[in-house]
């Protein structure tokens, strides 16, 4: 009995960490930063040159289900046309270090670059600090195959003065006279109805589509007044993810179950009336 | 809010001491309870221990300065084996389990949902459940030191929900991914 006890003791001691509290911020997450993954993506783009078609996997809200997230990533690894993954936030549920580390472990299984955007749940507790250390900036933009992807923080309850409209407009502008093939916005939360004029601002700035999570089910819609389409991927626990198909001058979207046996094309966004929504909220 | 918590803690501690078979003080480090966590508790029906405590973490590179309060329960298994070293008797209680409520105090954490959020938008971020295992080395009848392994609420939930993920990615049946260790000392009066 004594020997068993000492063996158990030694095993457990070597296997766990000395943690001061649930709110430590030093998450161990190698290789997941935006900077590292954009460098990987740039190297990949250079290796393949210009292509006429590629896909982007859109994964959202994997919080509390790292195993499901890992399974999705391992499946996306098998999809050759997917060039990179957009992870649209809510990796953590309560913003504690351990939750981020489990997700990072799952992300380490990916053979494709993963570009991550902060979600509202990631911002809880000391998640904002962890995010800056592990992933990097809340707002950033990058170019791939002549298309502009602009990732922005729109977690309004957790941050002041977001999203940054001027910055968003600036990122969509042509650089050195080069027009973008597509301009695509990426954030955790779809445009808020209370953020008056934001959607029109995106549209007027040249955005063609925005991609999101947060709502825990697939959706595709646009406000009737500006017709800028918004695609929302489901929560990953279902499991499921979205696929963005990018062609020169054309964007197409698919809802995809984990194994992608059933793919539902999204061709026409549902129209939504802002006026009707406000009336419904007032009645409620 | 801080004053209310301390007042509740003092009342609990006083109540515990009144009804307990024995009263103990406990000083712990790590295992999610702070750099230092001081508790006062009582022993009930021999094997049941309840304590209330206050913890502290100074400002560090990986931690904000923070105080915390706790209310904990521990079941101490009566099995104990004894041994002697240089004619001094020691005992080891290898398997003891407990759980506690830990409440952190910091401006970035909340017990009550701040007004800016819609009702029910988040659960409190300052309140956490901690489950723990202890191995205790009895130095004398009054004094003992212990090794503590703890699991945070989300760790237990995630492990139960998706054990394969943890078993595939972490050692020791996946427990490496969810456990934390600490140590402490108790003295009984």
Residue-wise pLDDT tens digits, B52-97? 999 999 999 999 999 999 999 999 988 899 999 998 999 999 999 9
pLDDT tens sequence across B161-181: 999 999 999 999 999 999 999
| Chain B residues within an 8 Å CB radius of A5 | 81, 92, 94, 135
Per the listing, tokens 């945070």 go with B152
Q: Is residue A117 part of a domain?
A: yes
Q: Is residue A31 part of a domain?
A: no
Q: Please tell me chain B's helix, strand, coil percentages from 3-state DSSP, rounded to the nearest 5.
A: 20, 50, 30
Q: Is residue A50 part of a domain?
A: yes
Question: Residue B4's pLDDT is what?
Answer: 63
A158–chain B nearest CA distance, Å: 9
Percentages (nearest 5) of helix, strand, coil residues in chain A: 30, 25, 45
Any domain includes A17: no
pLDDT at A216: 86
Residue B1 pLDDT exceeds 60: no
Measured distance CA(A182)–CA(A172) in Å, rounded: 9
The answer to whether the CB atoms of B165 and A102 lie below 8 A apart is: yes
Interface residues of chain A, partner chain B, Cβ below 8 Å: 1-2, 5, 8-9, 11-13, 15-26, 64-68, 70, 93-96, 98-99, 101-102, 105-106, 121, 124-126, 157
Inter-residue contact A115 to A91 (CB < 8 Å): no
Q: How far is B79 from chain A (nearest CA, A)?
A: 11
Report in angstroms the alpha-carbon separations of B171 from A247, B105, B165, B177: 45, 33, 11, 8
Contact by Cβ (8 Å): A208, A31: no
Domain of A186, in residue numbers: 46-283
**Nearest of B60, B51, B55 to residue B30 by alpha carbon:** B55
pTM value > 0.95: no
For residue A214, what is the DSSP state?
A: S
Which residues make beta-bridge pairs with B38? B27, B54
| Contact between chains at A15 and B171 (C-beta distance less than 8 A) | yes
Percent of chain B with pLDDT over 90: 80
| CA–CA min distance A126, chain B (Å) | 7
Is residue A211 within 8 A of residue A252, CB to CB? The reply is: no
Residue A125: inside a domain = yes
| pLDDT given for residue A268 in this prediction | 66
Residue A205 lies in a domain: yes
Better-scored residue on pLDDT, A13 or B18: B18
- Determine the pLDDT at residue A282: 56
Residue A128 forms part of a structural domain:
yes
Residues in A touching B135 (Cβ below 8 Å):
5, 9
> pLDDT band for position B11 (50/70/90)?
low
pLDDT of residue A275: 54
Confidence of residue B3 (pLDDT cuts 50, 70, 90): low
Residue predicted with more confidence, A120 or B17: A120
Average pLDDT, chain B: 92
Q: How many domains does chain A have?
A: 1
Tens-level pLDDT at each residue, chain A (284 residues): 555 555 555 655 666 789 999 999 999 999 999 999 999 999 999 999 999 999 999 999 999 999 999 999 999 999 999 999 999 999 999 999 999 999 999 999 999 999 999 999 999 999 999 999 999 999 999 999 999 999 999 999 999 999 999 999 999 999 888 899 999 999 999 998 778 899 999 999 999 999 999 998 999 999 888 889 999 999 988 779 999 999 999 999 999 876 665 666 676 677 776 655 555 555 55
**pLDDT, position B169:** 98
CATH of the domain at A148: 3.60.21.10
The reported pLDDT for the residue numbered A239 is 76
Distance separating alpha carbons of residues B140 and B145, to the nearest angstrom: 10
Is residue A196 situated within a structural domain?
yes
Could you tell me the pLDDT band of residue B132, with boundaries at 50, 70 and 90? very high
Q: Is the pLDDT of residue B2 over 80?
A: no
Q: In whole angstroms, how far apart are CA A43 and each of A40, B107, B170?
A: 5, 42, 31
Helix (H, G, I), strand (E, B) or coil at A146: coil
What pLDDT shows up at residue A43? 98
CB spacing of B181 vs A16 below 8 angstroms: yes
Mutate which: A17, A21, A72, A93, vs B, most B CBs within 10 A: A21
DSSP category for residue B142: S
Residue the block writes with tokens 């206050």: B54
Q: For residues A151 and A163, give the distance between their C-alpha atoms in angstroms, rounded to a whole number.
A: 10
Torsion of CA A272, A150, A116, A193, to 10 degrees: -30
């Amino acid at each position: 009995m004594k020997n068993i006890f000492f063996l158990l003791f030694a095993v457990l001691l070597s296997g766990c960490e000395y943690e001061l509290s649930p709110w430590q911020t030093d998450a161990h997450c190698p290789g997941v930063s935006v900077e590292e993954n954009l460098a990987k993506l740039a190297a990949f783009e250079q290796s393949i040159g210009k292509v006429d078609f590629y896909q982007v996997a859109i994964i959202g809200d994997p919080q509390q289900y790292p195993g499901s997230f890992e399974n999705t990533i391992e499946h996306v690894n098998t999809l050759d046309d997917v060039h990179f993954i957009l992870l649209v936030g809510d990796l953590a549920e309560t913003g504690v270090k351990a939750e981020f580390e489990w997700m990072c472990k799952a992300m380490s299984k990916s053979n494709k670059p993963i570009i991550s955007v902060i979600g509202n749940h990631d911002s809880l507790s000391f998640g904002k600090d962890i995010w800056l250390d592990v992933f990097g900036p809340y707002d950033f933009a990058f170019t791939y195959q002549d298309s502009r992807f602009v990732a922005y923080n729109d977690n309004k309850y957790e941050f002041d003065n977001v999203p940054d409209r001027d910055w968003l407009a600036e990122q969509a502008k042509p650089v050195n006279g080069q027009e973008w093939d597509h301009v695509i916005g990426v954030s955790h939360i779809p445009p808020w109805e209370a953020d008056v004029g934001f959607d029109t601002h995106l549209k007027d700035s040249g955005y063609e589509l925005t991609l999101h999570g947060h709502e825990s089910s697939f959706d595709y819609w646009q406000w009737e007044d500006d017709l800028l389409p918004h695609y929302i991927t489901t929560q990953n626990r279902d499991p499921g993810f979205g696929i963005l198909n990018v062609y020169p001058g054309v964007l197409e979207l698919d809802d995809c179950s984990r194994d992608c046996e059933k793919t539902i094309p999204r061709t026409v966004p549902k129209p939504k009336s802002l006026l009707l929504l406000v009336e419904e909220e007032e009645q409620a | 809010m801080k004053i209310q918590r301390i007042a509740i803690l003092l009342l609990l501690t006083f109540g515990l001491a009144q009804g307990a078979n024995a009263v103990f003080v406990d000083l712990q480090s790590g295992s999610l309870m702070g750099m230092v966590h001081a508790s006062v508790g009582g022993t009930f029906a021999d094997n049941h221990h309840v304590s209330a405590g206050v913890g502290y973490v100074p400002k560090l590179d990986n931690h904000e300065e923070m105080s915390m309060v706790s209310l904990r329960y521990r079941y101490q298994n009566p099995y104990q084996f004894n041994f002697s070293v240089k004619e001094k008797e020691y005992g080891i209680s290898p398997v003891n389990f407990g759980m506690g409520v830990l409440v952190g105090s910091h401006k970035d954490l909340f017990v009550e949902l701040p007004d800016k959020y819609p009702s029910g938008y988040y659960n409190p971020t300052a309140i956490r459940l901690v489950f723990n295992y202890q191995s205790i080395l009895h130095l004398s009848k009054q004094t003992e030191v212990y090794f503590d392994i703890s699991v945070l609420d989300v760790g237990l939930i995630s492990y139960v929900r998706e054990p394969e993920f943890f078993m595939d990615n972490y050692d020791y049946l996946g427990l490496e991914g969810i456990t934390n260790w600490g140590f402490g000392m108790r003295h009984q009066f």
